[in-house]
Structure 1
Amino acid sequence: MTLTISKVPLSAIEEAKKLAAWTAVDKHVLPEHKVIGIGSGSTVPYVVERIVAQGPEVNKDRVFIPTGFQSKELIVDAHLSLGDVEQYPIIDVTIDGADEVDTELNCIKGGGACHLREKVLAEAADTWIIVADYRKNSQVLGTTYTQGVPVEVAPFAYAKVLQNLHHIGSPNAKLRLAKMKAGPVVSDNGNFVIDAPFDAEKMKDPYPLLAQIKMLTGVVEVGLFCHMAKAAYFGNQDGSVTVKWHDGKVDQIAGPQS
């Protein structure tokens, strides 16, 4: 992996991701923050890039907690101090990506099968911030991320969980299969992932659905993150950043300069 992404020409989507990530870091990763969670996804390399730009003096006393293999590699490659949530169960701020975010800052996460550790770091953080490009900004979850709610399950229980998901309103739920290997995707925790699409009516208020799925025996974690984020930063095509806040306020601000 590399942290020099911004030094080559970026597509409009990548530029939007960078805008969101840089703005969020500038606003929320402050010099007094010493324990910082680093999330997963395609926007996160820009988060690490901006943190590195804060300089070695600011970063020398910090420790960075990864949500998975990708973020661990980014931290190591950037020569930042690597820690673990077992050592640091209280985190100052965690910045993470999302597959989709609704008007209430509820999120779908788990497209990269990291949502168990992502949720642990989100809950451990005093402040949890989402960064994404404009495509992830929705009114209702499931509008743009149509693959379904990611559900991490114990491997021996997947068939029963799949059957139960069919019964509670996701007839098209299916085991996520790997693209470059035969068989299912296996999470960093050694579990399988089911993708369970639900209709818009259920997704309008995802918290009851989260609770219903979480209660199914064999489910390890659900990729619905509800009532957790303080703010979500979306990079836009015009160089601006839309900020949605947990209290319903929405700001439009200019993106940072290199």
Structure 2
Amino acid sequence: MALHEGLCTNCGSLMRLNDENESTYCIFCWAEVNTAEGIRLGVDASGHKYENVEYAEPATEVKVAALQAQGLGGASVMAAVPARRAAAVEKRAEGKLTPRERVALQNKPIVKPYCATKHRVAIIGGVVAFLLVLSAVALPIYLTRENKKTALKEKLPTFLAYANEENRLNIERQRNQVIIIVSPAATSENEALSIFQNYAQAYAEVYEITEEAAQAKVEVRLFDSESGGYNIRMIDGEVKATDLN
């Protein structure tokens, strides 16, 4: 005896099929499924048309056997048997499942959702189209930002002697308006303000805006190991340097 994973030939639900049985009833639509055909669909269901015929529920004995074949032990059918068996039903606290019900839920077969080939193609096509549109919008923005960043970095050595040293600076944000600088020596507030003015001027040239507009946009964060450094930006219409301590 060997158990196989297969599909219902009528509704496409996932089934557990025993190759010793010629057929098994699907517990979702109650179609009688040929074992060999169900196993074949579990391997490759392409080209198969699911009829989704509505079948009447079979006799209790057939339902019990079908549930047992799926590892459910027929518990849900036995609960529907006439009241003479009601005394044997496990008691449970209000709102709680009995141990048998918990096991039944854990062993309940997972229904494999069926998606027609044409639907899969449409979904994949939609995803690809979305990615193409996203790339068409995002790529030019990214390239513009990187080109502007390169142009700004080329101007930095004119007023920042250590601009080309490794791990000394980083330009951030979508429009490169924030520059983080790590000074190799102690800095003063006047030096910080001078760096801000020079970066704002370089920013204005690269982005082709006025220097006043650039000052309103840019922010310089100047770090040093002794004083801590300064954060320089325009506040209430005035360029100010505040301690980073």
Flag whether TM exceeds 0.5 (same fold): no
Output the TM-score relative to the length of structure 1. 0.20
Q: Which has the higher strand share?
A: 1
User: Rg bigger for which structure?
Assistant: 2
